[in-house]
Amino acid sequence: MNEKINTFLSSGLLDKYLLGETTSEETEMVESYISRYPEIENEYNTMQHNLEVVAKASAVEAPKSILNTILEELDDAPVVKLNAPKRYKKWYKFSIAASVAALIFAGSSAYFYNQNKKLQNDTIIVDAEIDDLRSDIAQNNAMLDKVMRQLLKLNNPETEKYIIKGNERAKDLKTVAYINPKEKTSMIDVVSLPELPEEQCYQIWAELQGKMVNLGILDKADRQLRNIPYMEDALALSITIEPKGGNTIASTKNSVAQISLQ
């Protein structure tokens, strides 16, 4: 890999491009490099895959539509049309017109008072919705920060990826472990777990100095990238079927998946 490619990959522009934070000039530059250099294209495809993996951890429900609520409230607002009073040709009609005008004025005052109260209530509701939206934005920003941190871990050159597949007893089992021996971090992504009876569960272990160390329970309902304890000098990772709630000692006879880390 030549120095020009190394310099580009170290610049962090690929990360910015993936997140849509590049300027138009930077975007043009990144796309040019991707099309010209297979090494950069491969790195870009890998980072895209990693971003998809990390994004599963941020699967949150979208916030309520505030815009639709506001538009609906505005659509309900009355449109009042004021017609110009007619002129009467004869003077004795003035008194009748004055009486009618007084009645209209009294009715209009009550109407506009009620509309003003309704508008005040609607304003309070909209303000509450806006506060909820701000809270959702803050939560989403925090989630995005978490995703960014996980993405950086996955894209770290020191991070090693291990795909763990099930044996004949659990053919559809698949998990992916990400281990960084330099930063001493471990993460696991549960891709698929076959169904088990209610009284059983899957448990992951690290083989270390002739013994099996518990790293936690794998739950089908918890399909997301999550941290697991890092075990330095671990020789292998194993997944076994254990009683519900987990076990303190690995049931090696019930092993359904194993991968060497050496």
More confident position, 3 or 238: 238
* Whole-structure pTM value: 0.52
More confident position, 102 or 206: 206
User: In this structure, which amino acid lies at residue 182?
Assistant: K
Residues 136, 203 share a domain:
no
Give me the pLDDT at residue 167, please. 93
Q: How far apart are CA 190 and CA 203, in angstroms?
A: 12
- pLDDT over 70, % of the chain: 70
Residues 177, 256 share a domain:
yes
Q: Helix 66-76 to helix 93-155 angle, to the nearest 10 degrees?
A: 180
Residues 38, 123 share a domain:
no
Give me the pLDDT at residue 5, please. 86
Residue 96 has pLDDT above 60, yes or no: no
Residues 240, 175 share a domain:
yes
Of the three residues 135, 153, 171, the one that is the final residue of a domain is 153
The contacts of residue 236 (CB under 8 Å, 6+ apart) are 206, 207, 258, 259, 260, 261, 262
Of the three residues 13, 32, 58, the one that is the final residue of a domain is 58
Residues 255, 164 share a domain:
yes
Residues 166, 148 share a domain:
no
What is the average pLDDT value for the chain, to the nearest integer?
78
pLDDT, one tens digit per residue, over 119-164 is 777 788 877 778 777 777 877 766 666 666 666 667 778 889 999 9
More confident position, 245 or 51: 245
Residues 166, 102 share a domain:
no
Residue 238 has pLDDT above 50, yes or no: yes
Yes or no: say if 215 and 231 are a contact pair by the CB < 8 Å rule.
Answer: yes
Rounded to an integer, the average pLDDT of 217-225 is 79
Name the DSSP class of 234: -
Angle at 58 between CA 55 and CA 59, to 5 degrees: 100
Residues 142, 205 share a domain:
no
Of the three residues 88, 118, 153, the one that is the final residue of a domain is 153
Yes or no: say if 259 and 225 are a contact pair by the CB < 8 Å rule.
Answer: no
Strands of the chain (E only): list them.
Answer: 160-165, 174-180, 185-192, 200-208, 211-218, 225-228, 236-243, 255-260
pLDDT, one tens digit per residue, over 155-205 is 778 889 999 999 998 999 999 999 998 889 999 998 899 999 999 999 999
Residues 172, 253 share a domain:
yes
pLDDT category, 111, cuts 50, 70, 90? low
Residues 78, 50 share a domain:
no
Q: How far apart are CA 204 and CA 252, in angstroms?
A: 11
Highest-scoring range by mean pLDDT, 53-62, 101-110, 240-249: 240-249
pLDDT category, 108, cuts 50, 70, 90? low
Residue 10: give the domain boundaries: 3-58
Residues 141, 111 share a domain:
yes
Alpha helices in 63-193, H assignment, sequence order: 66-76, 93-155
Residues 42, 83 share a domain:
no
The pair phi, psi for residue 214, each rounded to 5°, is: -70, 130
How many structural domains comprise the chain?
3
Give me the pLDDT at residue 4, please. 84
More confident position, 127 or 38: 38
Sign of the dihedral defined by the CA atoms of residues 230, 224, 249, 212, in that order: negative
